């Protein structure tokens, strides 16, 4: 049943974006696993459009923050203003009060503005003038950044904030036939995306994720993988405890969308790179020469995969 829903979602998004099925599936997994996603790729690859289209496909309200150097935390969370009609201060919610928040070019926002998202992403609430406001449920952040021009008006995300993202994903490169299909798609009228699910159904599926069975051998394999990331010579530390929990939740969500009641070792293998690579802290010698994805693969290669 959930696998059919995933297929329907991919079909709807294909009406506007060609060749994004793998990324869509990982977005869907992250949402059901109660995580957030950082899309990292070149300009013009459809990152922002994918975020808005995904929100439409799941029937969610969406907000947007455009990362610039003058964005403030209040632009994200909202602020209190004096209401002349009531004679009291009233809270005006910011764009964070939506089911899906697109933080576009997040690395162009100042560190102070980026910090405005930390509480929202970690605790699903914001505190303004001493008052805590709960966010919508579900709450899902899709942030984007470009790996080029990183020295021109950008602020590198600190490790603490990178660790808040369940996955960091590139946009899949289109094949020649997919590029042709994209051009044909843009020659005709654009069909609006139809929602294939609802917030109530997503909350139900999210609860089911936590009940997907994880065998002790699979759990042991996951923990061994986390420890293995710290034994590779290029890293300073192993992946964080939050990374272990994120990988577990993502594996459970992958099993659910494939209509399985248990996690397979292959779920851990398939999700290790998008969940772990961006969390690794490399040493000063490796940071300029080593791709963290290769470190994750090396850690995977050092372990024996348990039988199903």
Write out pLDDT tens, residues 9-43: 999 998 888 889 999 999 999 999 999 999 998 88
d(CA 165, CA 146): 16
- Higher-pLDDT residue of 100 and 234 is 100
Q: Say if residue 255's pLDDT is above 90.
A: yes
The string of pLDDT tens digits covering residues 187-210 is 877 778 899 999 999 999 999 999
Stretch 269-292: mean pLDDT: 90
Q: Say if residue 61's pLDDT is above 90.
A: yes
pLDDT score for 149: 61
Please choose, from the candidates 258, 283, 281, 284, the residue with its C-alpha nearest in 3D space to the C-alpha of residue 271.
258
**% the chain with pLDDT above 70:** 98
Q: Give me the phi and psi of 198, to 5 degrees please.
A: -140, 165
pLDDT score for 297: 94
Q: Say if residue 55's pLDDT is above 90.
A: yes
- Helix H segments across the chain? 2-14, 21-32, 47-57, 73-77, 111-115, 118-123, 159-162, 176-187, 199-209, 216-231, 241-257, 265-276, 292-301
The string of pLDDT tens digits covering residues 114-172 is 888 888 898 899 888 888 889 999 999 999 988 766 556 678 888 888 889 999 998 88
Which H or E run includes 260? Answer: none
C-alpha pair distances (Å), 32 with each of 138, 145, 239, 252, 300: 9, 23, 22, 9, 25
pLDDT score for 138: 94
CA angle 283, 121, 126 (to 5 degrees): 130
Kindly report which listed range (13-27, 94-108, 281-295) carries the lowest average pLDDT score: 281-295
Q: Say if residue 262's pLDDT is above 80.
A: yes
Q: Say if residue 94's pLDDT is above 70.
A: yes
pLDDT score for 91: 86
pLDDT score for 234: 86
Answer yes or no: are the C-beta atoms of 143 and 36 closer than 8 Å: yes
d(CA 125, CA 111): 19
Stretch 248-269: mean pLDDT: 97
User: Which residues does 301 contact at the CB level (< 8 Å), separation at least 6?
Assistant: none
Give the strand pairing for 125-128 and 78-83: unpaired
Stretch 175-184: mean pLDDT: 89
Q: Say if residue 308's pLDDT is above 80.
A: no
Residue 213 — pLDDT band, cuts 50, 70, 90?
very high
Stretch 278-292: mean pLDDT: 86
User: Which residues does 246 contact at the CB level (< 8 Å), separation at least 6?
Assistant: 33, 35, 166, 275
Answer yes or no: are the C-beta atoms of 236 and 283 closer than 8 Å: yes
Q: What is the mean pLDDT of the chain?
A: 90
HSE-up (13 A, CA, CB side) for residue 307: 0
pLDDT score for 59: 94
Burial 110-146 (b: 16+ CB within 10 A, else e): beebbebbebbbeeeebebeeeebebbebbbbbbbbb
SS3 content of the chain, % helix, strand, coil (to 5): 45, 15, 40
Give the strand pairing for 37-40 and 167-169: parallel
Please choose, from the candidates 152, 192, 143, 131, the residue with its C-alpha nearest in 3D space to the C-alpha of residue 27.
143
């Amino acid at each position: 049943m959930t696998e059919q829903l995933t297929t329907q979602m991919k079909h709807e998004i294909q009406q506007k974006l060609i060749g994004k099925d793998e990324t869509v599936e990982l977005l869907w997994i992250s949402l059901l696993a109660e995580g957030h996603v950082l899309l990292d790729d070149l300009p013009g690859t459809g990152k922002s459009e994918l975020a808005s289209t995904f929100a439409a496909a799941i029937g969610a309200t969406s907000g947007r923050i455009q990362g610039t150097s003058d964005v403030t935390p209040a632009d994200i969370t909202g602020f209190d203003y004096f209401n002349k009609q009531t004679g009291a201060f009233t809270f005006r919610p910011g764009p964070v009060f939506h089911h899906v928040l697109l933080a576009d070019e997040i690395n162009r926002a100042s560190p102070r503005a980026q910090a405005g998202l930390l509480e929202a992403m970690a605790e699903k609430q914001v505190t303004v003038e001493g008052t805590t406001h709960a966010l919508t449920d579900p709450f899902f952040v899709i942030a984007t950044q470009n790996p080029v021009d990183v020295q021109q008006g950008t602020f590198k995300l600190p490790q603490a904030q990178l660790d808040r993202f369940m996955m960091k994903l590139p946009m899949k490169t289109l094949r020649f036939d997919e590029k042709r299909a994209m051009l044909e798609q843009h020659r005709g009228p654009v069909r609006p995306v139809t929602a294939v699910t609802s917030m109530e159904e997503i909350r139900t599926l999210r609860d089911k994720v936590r009940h997907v069975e994880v065998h002790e051998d699979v759990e042991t394999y996951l923990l061994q993988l986390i420890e293995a990331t710290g034994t590779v010579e290029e890293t300073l530390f192993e992946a964080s405890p939050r990374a272990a929990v994120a990988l577990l939740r993502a594996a459970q969500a992958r099993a659910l969308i494939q209509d399985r009641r248990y996690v397979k070792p292959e779920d851990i293998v398939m999700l290790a790179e998008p969940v772990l690579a961006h969390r690794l802290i490399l040493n000063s010698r490796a940071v300029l020469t080593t791709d963290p994805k290769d470190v994750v693969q090396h850690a995977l290669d050092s372990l024996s995969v348990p039988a199903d």
